Amino acid sequence: MRIAIASLAATIALVIAGCSPSPTPPKIEAKPARAALPDYYGTLEPFASDAVYFVLTDRFVNGDPSNDHRDQGKAKGDAFYTFDRPVPGAPAGKHDNVGYLGGDFKGIADHAQYIRDMGFGAVWITPIVDQPDEAFTGGEPAKWEGFWTDGGKTGYHGYWGVNFYQLDEHLPSPGLDFRGLTKTLRAHGLKTVLDIVANHGSPAYTMPVDQPKFGEIYDSKGTLIADHMNLPPEKLDPKNPLNAFYNHKVGIAQLSDLNEHDPHVLPYLVGAYEQWIDQGADAFRIDTISWLPHSFWHAFSQKIREKRPGFFMFGEAFDYDAKKIAEHTWAENANVSVLDFPLKQALANLFEKPAGDFASLAEPLHLTGGPYANPYELMTFYDNHDMPRMNASDAGFIDAHNWLFTARGIPVIYYGSEIGFERGTAEHAGNRNYFGVERIEAAKTHPIQAALTRIAKVRAASPALQRGLQINIELQGDRAAFYRVYQHDGKHQIALVLLNKGDAPTKFSITQMLQAGQWRSGFDNSVRDVAVGGALDSEVAAHGVQVWLLDAPISNPALVAALGAAMADKGVRKH
């Protein structure tokens, strides 16, 4: 009874309330919309977050001896076998090899954590497609310190493709094909950069007797679709469909030169490389991009990005003229990044010589007024497999890494550089020698590797170092100081980089464009409070680096002005 009375009273109250006029809601003053922060960035390319470790797969680690194929070609004699072919003429204590040495997918997978622990976010591997099954008997014999001498050489490096749809048998293991490798790398936080070739196939002529697969190309079903027939290019028959796949001009050494005008070539290559994207390739490195016309690469990149919008690619245009290699970066051409050869030349000259001057890097950086579509997306490096390794001291390698992982661009480190492996050696003189498990273990306590890991991890955690605009403060002698600044989509960070390549500690007192706030060290999170108009004082050890970070909207007027000018220039490349 009490429940019913209470319910009735509540109902009457609600009715009375419904008959009363509604109270006037309080007036809410509209807050002015917060002005959007201006954008400051060098690039928004996602791949810029990932420093790259470059592995020549056959020379890294032999993880599975069962796929070595050590008897391959032996039945035909010493001129044909493929495993372990020392280069003749080596001086005492030196060696090089033009045969297979056993490195494979399992060798990379087994040491993926080693690569990740150094602070890398991607692994670039050499081409994975099927190669000839014998050593090449034509051409000029490979010799100590020879270059483009392919006689007696094998396809251990992967650049002599004969079936672009098929894995070379030296690479996979049971349960670990290319898809398995990319999946394993991804589980360790690593992307896969696949090296691709479209300019040429395998060596094709000058053989005493025509050899199987050389100068031949097969499709996805294993059908022969092109054959050079051991003929020099000028003797190919354009009416023969098997010859039409090739140009009738001499290319690199005796390699079969693909005919970019043949209507079957582009679809063949696009189909093959789309297959590898489906199996996990995250980016492409394009071999010998400058040997094919811009129109071919424009069509190729368009086709790839139709399948995978935004797919990142960078080309190898082996030229030290920035204006020439920049053409590949323009939207009307390939619209890809490139390896920064002009800066590479300056870096090697600087870090190989203790008396080198940081000022020499100002021009090849091309931060303003340069020819590139975007210099911040270039792949920066100091050596690779096609040139002598950098001939620097341990301190020189440390200084080089301190620069590469803080300055503009996406750093690429060639396997073994973390211990100065084979420093100074060229191709056919040790540049591509086998690395192996023992050296990986030794590297874990090496001073170059320790310093590399230290700065690489700072870059991996800093959006400013990955994508920020670079504003130079000082590039002189042994000292360098510059800002990297990123402000976009709610994120804002200023990185102040201080480098010392000298043999003694040096002190910096930075006031130029310095924003007030609480700066923290990228290495140990120690803090420095900087007042308006104050200075940031920091001592940098010999061959050392310091990175100070400020996570705050950019407000210093002088810095804002410099960044505004840099953003305006970045959008207008000079060509």
320-376 pLDDT, tens per residue?
Answer: 999 999 999 999 999 999 999 999 999 999 999 989 999 999 999 999 999 999 999
Q: What is the pLDDT of residue 210?
A: 98
Decide: helix, strand or coil at residue 544.
Answer: strand
pLDDT value at residue 17: 39
pLDDT digits (tens, 9 = 90+) for 454-508: 999 999 999 999 999 999 999 999 999 999 999 999 999 999 999 999 999 999 9
Q: Is the pLDDT of residue 96 over 60?
A: yes
Please state the CATH superfamily assignment of the domain spanning residues 469-572 in this structure.
Answer: Golgi alpha-mannosidase II (2.60.40.1180)
pTM: 0.93
pLDDT, position 148: 84
Residue-level pLDDT at 36: 86
15 pLDDT more than 70:
no
Residue 162 CA to residue 171 CA, distance in Å, equals: 15
DSSP 8-state code for residue 459: H
Q: Is pLDDT of 23 > 60?
A: no
The pLDDT assigned to 147 comes to 85
Q: What whole-number distance in Å separates Cα of residue 335 and Cα of residue 573?
A: 13
pLDDT for position 21: 44
Helix axes 265-278, 294-307, angle to 10 degrees: 40
Q: Coil, strand, or helix at residue 438?
A: helix
State the residue for tokens 């791949």: 47
Instruction: List the chain domain ranges.
Output: 50-199+263-461, 469-572
Q: Residue 194 above 90 pLDDT?
A: yes
Q: pLDDT tens for residues 132-148?
A: 999 999 999 999 998 88
Indicate if the pLDDT at residue 22 is higher than 90: no
Q: Per DSSP, which regions of 287-373 are E strands?
A: 312-315, 337-338
Who contacts 500 (Cβ-Cβ below 8 Å, separation ≥6)? 478, 479, 506, 540, 541, 542, 543, 544, 545
Query: Given a cut of 50, is residue 412 above it in pLDDT?
Result: yes
CA dist 17 and 9 (Å) reads 12
Q: How far is CA 115 from CA 262, 440, 449, 452, 503, in A?
A: 41, 10, 11, 11, 29
- CB-based contact 128:167 (threshold 8 Å): yes
Identify the burial level of 535 via C-beta atoms within 10 angstroms of its C-beta, where 0-12 means exposed, 13-18 middle and 19 or more buried.
middle
CB-neighbour burial class of residue 20 (10 A; exposed 0-12, middle 13-18, buried 19+): exposed
Is residue 178 scored above 90 in pLDDT?
Answer: yes
State how far the alpha carbon of 447 is from the alpha carbons of 21, 345, 396, 522, in Å: 81, 25, 12, 20
pLDDT band at 570 (very low <50, low <70, confident <90, very high): confident
Identify the three-state secondary structure at position 153: coil
Q: What is the mean pLDDT of residues 382-401?
A: 98
pLDDT value at residue 70: 98
| SS3 at position 394 | helix
Token couple for 356: 């080198």
Strand partners, 97: 86
| pLDDT-derived band at 544, boundaries 50, 70, 90 | very high
In which band, very low, low, confident or very high, does the pLDDT at 25 lie, cut at 50, 70 and 90?
low
Question: For 58-73, how does the pLDDT look when each residue is reduced to its tens digit (9 = 90+)?
Answer: 999 999 999 999 999 9
What pLDDT score was predicted for residue 29? 54
pLDDT at 8: 35
pLDDT of residue 282: 98
Q: How many degrees, rounded to 5, is the angle at CA 333 between CA 330 and CA 336?
A: 60
- Candidates 345, 355, 354, 407; CA nearest to 378 is 407
CB 217 within 8 A of CB 176: no
The token duo for 238 is: 């354009």
- Residue 572: predicted pLDDT: 60
Residue closest to 128 by CA, chosen among 222, 219, 63, 193: 193
Give the mean pLDDT of the chain.
94
Query: In the structure encoding, which two tokens stand for residue 52, read together?
Result: 């790259």
Domain 50-199+263-461 in CATH 3.20.20.80: yes
pLDDT-based confidence at residue 30 (cuts at 50, 70, 90): low
Q: Is 15 exposed, middle or buried (0-12, 13-18, 19+ CB in 10 A)?
A: exposed
Q: Which tokens go with 132?
A: 């000839």
For 326, what's the count of Cα atoms within 13 Å in the CB-facing half-sphere?
19
Give the distance, in angstroms, between the CA of residue 551 and the centroid of all CA atoms in the same chain: 27
pLDDT, mean of residues 524-528: 96
234, HSE (Cβ side, Cα atoms, 13 Å): 1
- Is residue 31 predicted with pLDDT exceeding 80? no
pLDDT at 522 over 80: yes
Q: Which residue has the tokens 């790398």?
A: 185
pLDDT bracket for residue 574 (50, 70, 90) = low
H-helix or E-strand containing 330? none
